[in-house]
């Protein structure tokens, strides 16, 4: 299974009452495929506010996304959590919904050791026929899935790649030693070009909600050998890459990108507590990124 090089970790649109807005979700999926040129979408990942979605909402999202995409792109279900048994059950439900793969975040808060994480991911992978992408994001989970453990997991047949957010040193170490078929994605938009230069495969992105078409052009320029154009496009994208997370101080994802989508005419609503809306000053900064 090739999920492509540009994947968006999709936000979950909410209505005024904080419930999933299905009409807005459909419009967003269409835009991410047709306008932003994504190869795959992650549904109910952490950018989709998975910690505040019920399992019933998640499975409804998986089913809806598969139907709406209609084969135009791959749908990857965010089924990972810090509860191995629950992750297995949700993975089975996602498989029944017809998704193309799953994304498993490292188990947050529990702080398992490397062997515990290995067994966690192995157990989930063995419960499904779907291809599995790992997701290592120490800044949010409080733990680091080491390069060595990632490489052990890469030996499992249906663990096909990773979304790596532990920094360039660890990403490069994984790329250098992983099987050729194992795809390494960055989860940090600002390192898209450097990840490709290291030999990584692509990006699982937040910024591609709003500048996906340009990011696709950047990736295609680099992979076709036009490094000068890729560098130019990277410089043009860079303020958005950084600004969506640092506007003008760190703002929890997906607060900024949801507001940025509204500036493009895609109303996806607010965020669920404990997240809160962007302040007036933060909104002004986000607007400045697109002027």
Ordered by where they begin, the domains of the chain are: 6-226 (3.20.20.70)
**48-105 pLDDT tens trace:** 999 999 999 999 999 999 999 999 999 999 999 999 999 999 999 999 999 999 999 9
Among 135, 201, 222, 259, the one annotated catalytic: 135
- Bridge pairing between strands 159-164 and 6-9: unpaired
Does residue 222 carry a catalytic annotation? Answer: no
DSSP 162-184: EEE-S-HHHHHHHHHHS-TT-EE
**pTM value?**
0.97
Q: Which long-range contacts (CB under 8 A, 24 or more apart) does 238-241 make?
A: 238/190, 239/289, 240/189, 240/207, 240/210, 240/211, 240/289, 240/290, 241/189, 241/190, 241/192, 241/207
Among 163, 173, 183, 214, the one annotated catalytic: 163
**114-162 pLDDT tens trace:** 999 999 999 999 999 999 999 999 999 999 999 999 999 999 999 999 9
12: nearest Cα among 251, 264, 257, 265: 257
């Amino acid at each position: 299974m090739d999920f492509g090089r540009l994947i968006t970790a999709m936000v979950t649109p909410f209505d005024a009452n904080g419930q999933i807005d299905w009409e807005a979700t459909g419009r967003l999926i269409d835009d991410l495929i047709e306008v932003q040129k994504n190869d795959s979408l992650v549904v109910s990942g952490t950018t989709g506010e998975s910690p505040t979605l019920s399992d019933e909402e998640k499975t409804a999202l998986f089913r809806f996304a598969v139907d709406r995409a209609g084969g135009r792109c791959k749908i990857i279900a965010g089924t990972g959590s810090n509860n191995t048994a629950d992750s297995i059950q949700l993975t089975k439900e996602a498989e029944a919904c017809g998704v193309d793969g799953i994304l498993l975040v490292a188990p947050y808060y529990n702080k398992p050791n490397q062997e515990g994480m290995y067994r966690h991911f192995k157990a989930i992978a063995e419960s499904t026929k779907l291809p599995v992408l790992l997701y290592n994001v120490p800044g949010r989970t409080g733990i680091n899935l080491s390069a060595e453990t990632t490489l052990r997991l890469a030996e499992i047949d249906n663990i096909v790649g990773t979304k790596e957010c532990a920094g360039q040193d660890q990403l490069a170490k994984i790329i250098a030693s992983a099987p050729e078929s194992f795809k390494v994605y960055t989860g940090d938009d600002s390192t898209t070009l450097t990840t490709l230069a290291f030999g990584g495969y692509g990006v699982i992105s937040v910024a591609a909600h709003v500048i996906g078409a340009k990011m696709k052009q950047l990736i295609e320029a680099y992979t076709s050998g036009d490094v000068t154009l890729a560098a130019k496009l990277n410089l043009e994208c860079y303020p958005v890459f950084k600004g969506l997370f640092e506007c003008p101080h760190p703002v929890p994802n997906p607060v900024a990108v949801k507001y940025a989508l509204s500036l493009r005419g895609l109303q996806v609503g607010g965020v669920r507590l404990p997240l809160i809306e962007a302040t007036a000053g933060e909104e002004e900064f986000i607007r400045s990124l697109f002027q």
